Amino acid sequence: MNETIRDILAKVGNLPVPAADLAQDADLYAAGLSSFASVQVMLGIEEAFDIEFPDNLLNRKSFASIAAIEVTVSQILKAQEAA
């Protein structure tokens, strides 16, 4: 999951630093992630993991770091499995 998220960030995040160099808990917004790029990241993650972000998880906190994205995706996947 981590590698997929980093790949998506590298492709559509438009970050001034390589996604591979970011720490798990690095603030992606401080690293240069824009609101527009975060939407592109969300769309890439939805496609890669075959999920849809619910409205309650469409917030800055869900995309604050690679670790936060992993937690959010895991929550969505668990909810799908339970449904």
Task: Render pLDDT for 35-73 as a digit per residue (tens, 0 to 9).
Answer: 999 999 999 999 999 999 999 999 999 999 999 999 999
Its domain, for residue 42, covers 2-82
CATH assignment of the domain containing 27: 1.10.1200.10
pLDDT recorded at residue 27: 97
Whole-number Å distance between alpha carbons of 23 and 67:
9
pLDDT recorded at residue 83: 81
- Total number of domains in the chain: 1
pLDDT recorded at residue 60: 94
pLDDT recorded at residue 78: 96
Q: What is the pLDDT of residues 22-33, one digit of tens each?
A: 999 999 999 999
